[in-house]
Chain A
Amino acid sequence: MAVQIVMDRNGDTRHEFDFADPKTIARAEERFRELTGKGFRAVALGRDGNPGTLLDKFDPLVERTLLIPQLQGG
């Protein structure tokens, strides 16, 4: 199982999908495109606090993808 973690007002919302299930992968890809289209940044989270990798396209093999809303200056 893989998970997309979307930062939001609830802290985060987690969407799990199965590597072996094309339907859930398609849904996860759609979510990825929709959110990155709105300006979210997608990051493959690293282990033990190490920097992860910035994702510019959906990768179904990434175990934990974090989606961060667009940044703004304060």
Chain B
Amino acid sequence: MACTANDRDAPPRHCAWWLQRLSRFSRSVITRWASPDFAGTGTARARANLLLGENLSLTQREQFHECGYFTVTGGETGNCYRIWRGYQMNVEEIDKNGKRLHVLCFMPEGHLAQGDVMLAQKIALELFEFDALKIANTMPPHLSRFPERHEA
């Protein structure tokens, strides 16, 4: 969302809203990285990655290994989602050509390791998609921090 000429004098409400979201997001990333469970060598991280790996299909595992994401089909709408390696703002709804439609932000409560967060997101979309979508914050596609991917 671009600011117009009228926005120059005082920060408009929508810019303030985005700044507030950005600040909240930065705080939560810092909190996670400061936690000993997220030091990168912790058993929590290893266990969560193992559990995630055990619960991906072969195709999803290969996709995740090669591209850093895997795709999931929504259990209630049949819509397609891409789950990137990450904790938040890492889920995207995509169209049949792989074009990003929305960015979704939802995760399980508690400071869980990344693998757990991604597995919870996968299962939520497969088994209780409407509930997950109701909870998720939805953002426009250009706010994604991940590269655009299109199917050939």
Residues of A within 8 A of B (CB): 5, 7-12, 39, 41, 43, 45-46, 48-54, 66, 68-74
The complex places the Cα of A25 from the Cα of B15 at a distance, in Å, of 54
The complex places the Cα of A54 from the Cα of B50 at a distance, in Å, of 21
The complex places the Cα of A43 from the Cα of B124 at a distance, in Å, of 10
Across the two chains, which residue of chain B brings its CB closest to A73?
B137
**Which residues, 101 to 152 on B, are CB-close (under 8 Å) to A?**
105-113, 115-116, 119-120, 123-124, 126-128, 131-132, 135-137
Contact among B55, B56, B108, B113 with A71 in the assembled complex (CB-CB below 8 Å)? B108
Main secondary structure of the interface of B (DSSP, over half): helix
- The answer to whether B47 and A49 touch across the interface, beta carbons within 8 angstroms, is no
The complex places the Cα of A66 from the Cα of B54 at a distance, in Å, of 12
Residues of B within 8 A of A (CB): 25, 28, 37, 43-48, 50-51, 55-58, 60-61, 75, 88-89, 105-113, 115-116, 119-120, 123-124, 126-128, 131-132, 135-137
Query: How far in angstroms is the closest Cβ of chain A from B32?
Result: 11
The complex places the Cα of A38 from the Cα of B109 at a distance, in Å, of 11
Across the two chains, which residue of chain A brings its CB closest to B57?
A49
**A74: chain B residues within 8 A (beta carbon):** 25, 28, 88-89, 105-107, 136-137
The complex places the Cα of A52 from the Cα of B56 at a distance, in Å, of 11
**A54: chain B residues within 8 A (beta carbon):** 127-128
The complex places the Cα of A8 from the Cα of B47 at a distance, in Å, of 11
Across the two chains, which residue of chain B brings its CB closest to A7?
B116
**B57: chain A residues within 8 A (beta carbon):** 48-50
**B123: chain A residues within 8 A (beta carbon):** 41, 43, 51-52, 66, 68
The complex places the Cα of A46 from the Cα of B57 at a distance, in Å, of 10
The complex places the Cα of A50 from the Cα of B126 at a distance, in Å, of 9
**B60: chain A residues within 8 A (beta carbon):** 49
Contact among A10, A12, A51, A72 with B109 in the assembled complex (CB-CB below 8 Å)? A72
Contact among B46, B120, B124 with A7 in the assembled complex (CB-CB below 8 Å)? B120
